[in-house]
Amino acid sequence: MTSSAWQGAIMRKITLAAATALAAVLAGHRVEAGPVLDAVKARGQIVCGISDGRPGFAQADAQGRWRGFAVDICRAVAATILRDANKAKFVALTAAKRFPALQAGEVDLLVSDSTYTLARDAGQGVEFTGIYYYDSQGFLVKKSGAKTIKDAKDLHRAMICYQTGTTSEANLTDYFAANRMRFVSFAFERSAEARDAFLAGRCDALTSDLSALYAILAAKPQHAVDYAILRQTIAKEPLGPAVRQGDPQFADIVRWTLYAMIEAEEYGVTARNVDEMLKSPHATIKEILGVTPGMGKALGVDDRWVYNIVKQVGNYGESYDRNLGGGSPLGIPRSLNAQWTKGGILYAPPIR
């Protein structure tokens, strides 16, 4: 056999093997579910770790019901696995306790406004499964006072409040060191404590994710009058869901649940029109909604998994609007979190 013929034969074998593997996946023949997915199915409930009360992302209402953008991500995963978005339990965690709780198995999924970093993804026994919000770190300051601050460089020797156990702490230290500036630190375990100390005048500035700073301004009309967010940002803060390593199928489900919410918005599939969209002749929409079978089996879930997400939770844009955007008190512009077709960088791999 000539060299080219031998190579051709090998390639045909590889192609046949790949096709066979893909056919097996689409036929539902997957590796057995891992320990996390098995536990979720056995108890009939997913346990989600969330932040300890962050407006727009995770906050309990007067009836004790958790609401927010991060909460919706958890509910969407429950809809994917258990066909019911209400089968989600929420555990509020401080920044210092969130990853230990995930590692110890106290929660199945962490959607606690955690920044996706290499050190966390590769060195803590956890796996990030995408980015649900592109944030950045900035400063909130008082508009007037003994020390007028209009620029981040004006913070030299300032007293700064922040939450410990977060990337904000390291970013703050790095920024000041790079600019040969000094600051007096006021560290707090809980974000609410750092916020309250700043509002009480104990420090000159509060540093956190911009989304958290927007929430403070939106809390009371007077806050928007008295305080301002500086123009400069000092670090990227991509927020992502995290799971324990060792259950790839569960990680895939969380990853593609987020992608499904993004993809549904891109194709105009909403909670209001999803039933009508089942009749769409569009090939991609038919695959997304399970009219054309196969995509659910590829994940080991019901073919109507995306339908369940959108019907019960909504698409990415619907959740963003009611929790963070124009339909919420925060009114945060979509900016980077807009769809890639509308000037943002929100982009999901195709559900094909």
Residues 286-330 pLDDT 10s: 999 999 999 999 899 999 999 999 999 999 999 999 999 999 999
Shared domain check, 219 and 160: yes
Residue 34 CB neighbours (<10 A): 17
Residues 60 and 14 reside in one and the same domain: no
Question: Which residues are 235's β-sheet partners?
Answer: 137
Q: In this structure, are 257 and 188 located in the same domain?
A: no
What would the pLDDT profile of 134-171 be if each residue is shown by its tens digit? 999 999 999 986 567 889 999 999 999 999 888 999 99
Residue 158 to residue 232: CA distance in whole angstroms:
16
Q: Is residue 146 assigned to a domain?
A: yes
Residues for the chain: how many in total?
352
**CATH number of residue 179's parent domain:** 3.40.190.10
Same domain, residue pair 234 and 138: yes
Q: Look at residue 43 and tell me if it is in a domain.
A: yes
Query: Are 215 and 191 a contacting pair, CB within 8 Å?
Result: no
User: What backbone phi and psi angles, to 5 degrees, belong to 253?
Assistant: -65, -45
For 47, the domain range is: 35-132+240-342
Q: Are 264 and 315 in contact (CB under 8 A)?
A: yes
Give the SS3 label for residue 261. Answer: helix
Decide if 212 is inside a domain.
yes
- Tokens 């600051």 identify what position? 183
The answer as to whether 201 is a domain residue is yes
Q: Which of 238, 256, 287 is the last residue of a domain?
A: 238
Q: What is the mean pLDDT of residues 224-250?
A: 95
Say yes or no: 41 and 5 in one domain: no
> pLDDT tens digits for 84-127?
999 999 999 998 899 999 999 999 999 998 999 999 998 778 99
The verdict on 230 and 253 lying in the same domain is: no
Tokens of 216: 């403070």
- The pLDDT assigned to 124 comes to 77
Residue bearing the bigger pLDDT, 278 or 23: 278
**Whole-number average pLDDT of the chain:** 90
Is 59 domain-assigned?
A: yes
Q: Report the SS3 class of residue 137.
A: strand
Whether 70 is in a domain gets the answer yes
Last residue of a domain, one of 193, 222, 238: 238
227 has pLDDT over 70: yes
> Each residue of 211-223: b (16+ CB within 10 Å) or e?
bbbbbbbbeeeee
Does 169 share its domain with 203? yes
CB atoms closer than 10 angstroms to residue 238: 17
First to last CA, the chain: 38
Which of 238, 253, 271 corresponds to the end of one domain? 238
Give the pLDDT confidence score for residue 32 in this predicted structure: 58
Q: Quick check: 162 and 169 in contact, CB under 8 A?
A: yes
Q: Are residues 190 and 274 in the same domain?
A: no
Query: Is 248 in the same domain as 334?
Result: yes
User: In this predicted model, what pLDDT tens digit does every residue of 14-50 receive, in sequence order?
Assistant: 344 334 334 444 444 444 569 999 999 999 999 999 9
Instruction: Give domain status of residue 351, yes or no.
Output: no
Is residue 118 located within the same domain as residue 193?
no
| Number of structural domains found in the chain | 3
